[in-house]
Structure 1
Amino acid sequence: MTHPGTLVLILAASVLAPLLVYATGRRIRVPLVVFEIGLGILIGPDVLGWAQPDKVVDTLADLGLSMLIFLAGYEIDFVAVRGDTLRRSVWAWLVSLAVGIGVAFPISGGDVYEAFVIGTALTSTALGTVLPMLRDSGQLRGRFGTVMSSFGAVGEFGPVVAMALLLSGRRPGESAALLAAFGVITAGAVFWALRPRPPWFARLTERTLHTSGQFAVRFVMLLLACMLGLAEVFGLDVLLGAFAAGVLTRLVLHRAAPESSEEVLGKVEAMGFGFLVPLFYVVTGIEFDLHALLHDLGALLLVPVFLLLVVLVRGGPVYLLAPRDLTRPDRAALALFASTCLPLVAAITTIGVDQKVLGSDAAAALVGAAMISVLVLPLLAMRVRSSTGPTAREERDPGTAKDAETW
């Protein structure tokens, strides 16, 4: 059983983080996740030693990661991102994966599995971190937001599939067969979600929206649990189930209760971003191996190397394969946003360390580079876009530009 003081410290850190964002906002825009992880490192065993991870906290953190990926899946509007944009997104990620594994091979000393872990981590995009930034700054809606959603979705879905295939401990052929079976069942669930829902579903959603019943929220949680359980049964990474659950939830709510879908999502987001997601980030900081990073010069030097590789491996193909209708500054901003990574890097390195195919020093260097990417790259992307003048949406709605300055 967890020590009550540990959970109190974690929740205190999650409350302090937005206060620090507000306090520093006039001088520098620091993403919330950086403070959450930084405070976790501070109270963790390598600095103050106040908080120690245990089974209960780790379970809550796993739920937080699942909720983060679930919300990222919900954000994806596949109707908007399909077609040429989606094809370009897939090709950009495949090129990134090939290049990533190639450059990771000499870093790993020729170890194929370690090279795969490092290379896959270099291809991920922190869509769940980037989309709230774009939404808060008024850049999510419109052409740029749609393209970013497409490239970011593939940047999250691709690594999750790669982990399910090659880091599951099975032979690739067996993993591919199980993944295909999971895909067939998920496709059936999508077909079910697209069917008209009975009228009572919308009525019950509206009637219980402000009561203790909360039918729609409970339904969403059931759907998430079912997809997580399905992924677990097939021996796949649960993040794949969380992402699929987010996609299904969007289809169901927008089809069955379109007038209440945003309010239902707001309640789920309150549960996620108010409790589970920040808990995951703080625990990531607590479990961060700062000692291995600071006491190994080689690992410390790998941090800037990995940061540069993230931009080149992930951002390079995104820039080259971005839709032609985007301006050069928008393509550069897209590449920087797509290179922003952290949640999946933490997940991939954790799996690699657990399976003893990745050293804790390399894992700490990767996570350290990912933390810097979250701190630096979105700010550079925002600056690149703002230097070209207001976005199309800002021109239509001057209030959006004002909101972006506030952010």
Structure 2
Amino acid sequence: MAHPGTLLLIMAVAVLAPLLAHAAGRWIRVPLVIFEIALGIAVGPDVLGWAHTDTVIDTLSRLGLAMLIFLAGYEIDFTAVGGTVLRRAAGAWLAALALGLGAAATLAPRDAAVVIGTALTSTALGTVLPILRDSGDLRGRFGTVMLAFGAVGEFGPIIAMALLLSGRAPAQAAVLLVAFAVVTALAVVWAARPRPPWFSRVVAETLHSSAQFAVRWVMLLLVSMLALAAAFGLDTLLGAFAAGVLTRLVLAGAAPGDSAEILGKVEAMGFGFLVPVFFVVTGIEFDLRALLDGGRELLLLPLFLLLFLVVRGGPVYLLAPRDLGRADRGALTLYCATCLPLVVAITTIGRGEGVIGSGEAAALVGAAMLSVLIFPLSALRLRAGRSTAGAEDEAW
């Protein structure tokens, strides 16, 4: 059953959320996503009952998640990230996966443990990026390391989902994953080649016209990678992330000013429409009643929050580059333990396959929401304290 007023309500919430975030910023810095999800819960079925999702809303929400992962993939500049940092990031994630599966095995049966353990290893790079960008922490050595660890924290769970949560035998899933990787590698080789002169010319000539060739090209690339992942039977988030990486290589052939403007237009579509829809719908579909009605589920919420920090954050702190100071390592740990989008995606798959209950899923998503509220704020304070201490030392 369609609910035509829901989209209007979602967009009203999307407009209200940044106003509330701006007003709250006078006292405390609260990530925008918290207001989007909280307002979604408020207008959803379990509170006011004003908003109800349908096929159209669910489709827009999935597109919003894909756009979020796409923009996260675009932010990764592999030329700026050294191989040593990537190896450390990969090692930290693999250690987190082992810890996560082990911890989850003590809490749930095997299939549910795979869902929970995989969710514990994720990093919400797409959610953290706006915070890093606004605070200026995205630039410099810390930003480069954070992008590497965060990228692995998003890419790793997507790979794990493809292997462990696809419903196929691991060997068959691995073959399909390798085939997708080969095709993607060929696309990377193509994207890295110099663009012909006509490409840059058409991009420049249509940048401010109704043709918008570059934006249409980016959208074609995104949809193509989503379709390719779907054709291989893999999660479309894998295609979205790969499309972001490819888009950075393709736009490298455009003039620097044009490339930044193209990205700005794509971000406007993403953060201005699709991404807020995803987060508000996440709130609308949040099973608050199942969480509050179940004693065990409510107890699991703080436990999951602690596990996000220990399972994902612990290996990050231990394997972070040695040139980072203690405050930076702590901030990196907190940022990497921040999670939400992939937790929502993983729990949705788990619920769809009937291996995880709505109460456990709500506890995981609720803990992930708390991580978005608590961990980045703590990381910002650590970084601010580091900067203040450095300034005082310099003055002395």
Give the TM interval when normalised to the shorter protein.
Answer: over 0.9
C-alpha contact 1:139 1:391 (8 A) present in aligned 2: no
Mapped to 1, the partners of 2:247 and 2:82 lie a distance apart of 18
C-alpha contact 2:288 2:362 (8 A) present in aligned 1: yes
Shift of 1:385: 1.3
Deviations 1:280-317 (A, max 9, x none): 00000000000000001110111100000000000000
Shift of 1:254: 1.1
Q: Name the amino acid aligned to 1:362.
A: E
Mapped to 1, the partners of 2:90 and 2:296 lie a distance apart of 34
- Residue of 328, 352, 356 corresponding to 1:354: 352
Q: Which residue of 2 aligns with 1:216?
A: 214
Q: Name the amino acid aligned to 1:9.
A: L
Shift of 1:106: 1.1
Residue 37 (structure 2) pairs with residue 37 (structure 1): yes
Shift of 1:112: 1.5
Q: Name the amino acid aligned to 1:351.
A: I
Write out aligned runs for 1:74-85 (5 A): 74-85=74-85
Write out aligned runs for 1:1-400 (5 A): 2-108=2-108, 111-389=109-387
C-alpha contact 1:67 1:242 (8 A) present in aligned 2: yes
Instruction: Give the secondary-structure state (helix, strand or coil) at the position aligned to 1:47.
Output: coil
C-alpha contact 1:72 1:127 (8 A) present in aligned 2: yes
Instruction: Give the secondary-structure state (helix, strand or coil) at the position aligned to 2:139.
Output: coil
Mapped to 1, the partners of 2:2 and 2:328 lie a distance apart of 47
C-alpha contact 2:3 2:53 (8 A) present in aligned 1: no
Q: Name the amino acid aligned to 2:130.
A: P
Shift of 1:87: 0.2
Deviations 1:351-380 (A, max 9, x none): 000011111111000000000000010000
Mapped to 2, the partners of 1:114 and 1:80 lie a distance apart of 38
Q: Name the amino acid aligned to 2:175.
A: A
Q: Number of aligned pairs?
A: 392
Mapped to 2, the partners of 1:221 and 1:315 lie a distance apart of 34
Question: RMSD value over aligned CA atoms?
Answer: 1.3
TM-score of the two chains, using structure 2 as the length reference:
0.97
Q: Name the amino acid aligned to 2:183.
A: I
Deviations 1:92-131 (A, max 9, x none): 00000000000000110xx221111101100100001111
C-alpha contact 2:200 2:253 (8 A) present in aligned 1: no
C-alpha contact 2:37 2:283 (8 A) present in aligned 1: yes
TM-score of the two chains, using structure 1 as the length reference:
0.95
Q: Name the amino acid aligned to 1:87.
A: R
C-alpha contact 1:333 1:380 (8 A) present in aligned 2: yes
Q: Name the amino acid aligned to 2:383.
A: R
C-alpha contact 1:2 1:57 (8 A) present in aligned 2: no
C-alpha contact 1:64 1:280 (8 A) present in aligned 2: yes
C-alpha contact 2:203 2:254 (8 A) present in aligned 1: no
C-alpha contact 1:61 1:283 (8 A) present in aligned 2: yes
Percent identity, aligned pairs only, is 69
